[in-house]
Amino acid sequence: MGAMFDIDVVVPYLPDLASGLWVTFRLGVISVVLGVVLGLLLALARLSGTRLLAWPAYLYIELFRTTPPLVQIIWFYYGLPPLTGIELDPFGAAALALGLNIAAFFAEIFRAGVEAVPATQWQAAKVLGLGRLDTLRSVILPQAARLVLAPTGTTVIYLVKGTALASAIGAPELLRVGQLVALETFRPVEVLTVIAVAYFVLTYPIALAFMALEKRVARARA
């Protein structure tokens, strides 16, 4: 028997793993952007005070955060074509499912952030004649954004790691590539170790970026 743990066996496959990492990165970016935009719209709908908007948003949020993302990914890949005629490749199905899923979490984070801005800020804006939308855009959301930095950062990291679920439908992302390499080399532990490091390299800068943002905000307000 050779060495118990021989990381060198992975080296020939590094280009494959790098392309998997690139897919993971793109998957993460697309679903974060989709999730943040949709999450913000959902939060505003819930806060609108209009039932016609608040209720669908509420239903959406509860539906998507109470069912497993893995189920959603598989459903969007296999369930969407027969139901809607829309056919997506594994990457598209995963990006859509992950984005829609994380939007529900962003929506709740953003809603809590907006509600945490004191009501007196709304009042100060109102007596200056600012309308609801102007107030939201220039007074409330910038303050809410500072409040939600930490939970937003955590959720982004959670999502970027969560793209690994896309391996279930064969999207050629990092974990999927890793699984194939492991099958070829019979060295799952080594391959998974390299993959874990790759995920860390991808997500740790995100953590650092959010920490830096928080520090900058704290300095401006001190």
Partner 1 sequence: MTGELLLSVRQLVKRYGSTTVLDGVDLDVAAGSALVIIGPSGSGKSTLLRCIARLEPIAAGTIMLDGKFVASSERVGQAQAVAAHDIGMVFQSFNLFPHLTVLDNLTLAPRRVLGLGRAEAEARARDLLAVVGLAEKAEAYPAKLSGGQQQRAAIARALMMRPRLMLFDEVTSALDPELVGEVLKVMRTLSREGMTMLVVTHEMGFARDVADDVVFMDHGRVVERGPPDQLFAAPQEPRTRAFLSRLLGRDGDE
Name which position in 86, 128, 196, 212 contacts partner 1 (CB under 8 A). 128
* Token pair recorded at residue 112: 């809590």
Name which position in 134, 158, 196, 204 contacts partner 1 (CB under 8 A). 134
Q: Hey, what's the torsion of the CAs at 209, 214, 220, 221, to 10 degrees?
A: 170
How far apart, in whole angstroms, are the C-alpha atoms of residue 57 and residue 141? 19
Residue 152 interacting with partner 1 (CB under 8 A): no
Is 176:170 a contact under the CB 8 Å cutoff?
yes
Residue 46 interacting with partner 1 (CB under 8 A): no
* Token pair recorded at residue 181: 């390499």
Residue 207 CB, shortest distance to partner 1, in Å, is 24
Name which position in 142, 158, 189, 200 contacts partner 1 (CB under 8 A). 142
Name which position in 37, 63, 126, 209 contacts partner 1 (CB under 8 A). 126
| Among the residue ranges 31-39, 61-69, 139-147, 166-174, the one whose residues contact partner 1 (CB under 8 A) | 139-147
Name which position in 41, 130, 149, 213 contacts partner 1 (CB under 8 A). 130
Is 77:96 a contact under the CB 8 Å cutoff?
no
How far apart, in whole angstroms, are the C-alpha atoms of residue 30 and residue 6? 35
